[in-house]
Amino acid sequence: MTATAATPSPLPGARALPARLASLDAYRGFVMFLLLAEVLRLCEVAAARPASALWAFLCHHQSHVEWVGASLHDLIQPSFSFLVGAALPFSLAARSVSGQPRARMIAHALWRAAVLVALGIWLRSVGRPQTYFTFEDTLTQIGLGYPFLFLLALRPVRDQWIALAAILVAYWAAFAAYPLPPSGFDYAAVGVPPDWPHRLDGFAAHWNKNSNLAWAFDVWFLNLFPRERPFAFNGGGYATLSFIPTLGTMILGLLAGGVLRGPRPPSARVRWLVAAGLIALASGWALDGIGLCPLVKRIWTPSFTLWSGGGCFLLLAAFYAVIDVLGHRRGAFPLVVIGMNSIAAYCMTELWPRFIQESLKTHLGESVFHIFGDAYVPLLLGAAGLLVIWLILLWMYQRRILLRI
């Protein structure tokens, strides 16, 4: 992982680099902004204003759903993964033009994957007495799938479609074939309250929280590593094996990136992305609606892969159409600042918010954040901290300090 002097997306009014799409940086910046905006703590404001439908709505979309379904917040990780795939055709083209041999490119991909996994584990271990080996967070999930994605990027588009279909069907079949827990299974022992309202029945029970194939794998796999205590379950139901359908999400991004680099005119690219988005969204909803595969982000079911991939296609279409086709780049600049340094932004949101907010209270005093009443203190304090992080990213952007892996 290095801090490089790579050329950022052009400032408004400057000539754009032909090999880089500002829409990809802006979309990535939008995703990272949603992640950084967790510091706004909208659910705390909603709790203080229980009669407000607006704050309840905003809270819902800044939270992960408990199990089946999705919110805007549930699109953050899929978008980040999708954009890894979308950027890869451009990266490959640049490396090929520079004359890098394929073996060197593959070696770099393996190095990048290892660093992503290591960085994810390191961030999750901060504040713990020993290394916390976990593989379900965004960086480790991308790292585990990235070597396979890179190899697929070297293959024809037909092979990429075949790989996507094989991943989704095989992952669905593996869950469906895994035996249901026996009668009297102690759900409380795996972190699921007996009266938990989100438990599924019938065929859909194969995808229940902490009693599915991915949970069983982690009970074996994670206990191969040194731990403070034996692993029994993940409190959120997240799982290591989700990197497999996450690879499916990255392949969808790879296909989108191929379209953006392809010979189609810009308007046809937008139409393709919109059509792919609508088809994927409808497919994910349909698989959930007919009971064949519930739509669950926490274990990244194939229906969620399709649904979230559809959302990513549509968001990319919107950013591409507005920024790169219509040329409205100036308004995207605040997002580009974040998107060009997404790894740095990710590390900041994991490490700095509490320190920054405590520093703000120390130097500005707490009373300034009570100007609109106690209910809005979390929002104002979070907004101030978010502004500080953005200004740091702007400082890095202006000096071309970009954290790369």
Measured distance between the N- and C-terminal CA atoms of the chain, rounded to whole angstroms: 4
pLDDT score, position 19: 53
Which distant-in-sequence residues (6+ apart) come within 8 Å of 175 by Cβ?
Answer: 206, 207, 212, 213, 214, 301
User: Up-side HSE of residue 215: CA atoms within 13 Å toward CB?
Assistant: 23
Given a contact cutoff of 8 angstroms between Cβ atoms, the answer to whether 136 and 217 are in contact is no
pLDDT score, position 83: 98
Closest listed residue to residue 116, CA positions, set 139, 133, 138, 135: 139
Instruction: Dig out the tokens for 182 from the structure.
Output: 């026996």
Read off the DSSP letter of residue 341.
T
Say what the pTM is. Answer: 0.93
Provide the residue-wise pLDDT of the chain in tens; the chain has 405 residues: 555 444 444 433 333 334 579 999 999 999 999 999 999 999 999 999 999 999 999 999 999 999 999 999 999 999 999 999 999 999 999 998 889 999 999 999 999 999 999 999 999 999 999 999 999 999 999 999 999 999 999 999 999 999 999 999 999 999 999 999 998 899 999 999 989 999 999 999 999 999 999 999 999 999 999 999 999 999 999 999 999 999 999 999 999 999 999 999 999 999 999 999 999 999 999 999 999 999 999 999 999 999 999 999 999 999 999 999 999 999 999 999 999 999 999 999 999 999 999 999 999 999 999 999 999 999 999 999 999 999 999 999 999 999 988
pLDDT score, position 234: 97
pLDDT score, position 3: 52
Q: Is 329 exposed, middle or buried, given 0-12, 13-18 or 19+ CB atoms closer than 10 A?
A: buried
In Å, what is the CA distance from 137 to each residue of 37, 298, 378? Answer: 18, 11, 26
Q: Rounded CA gap, 286 and 123, in Å?
A: 37
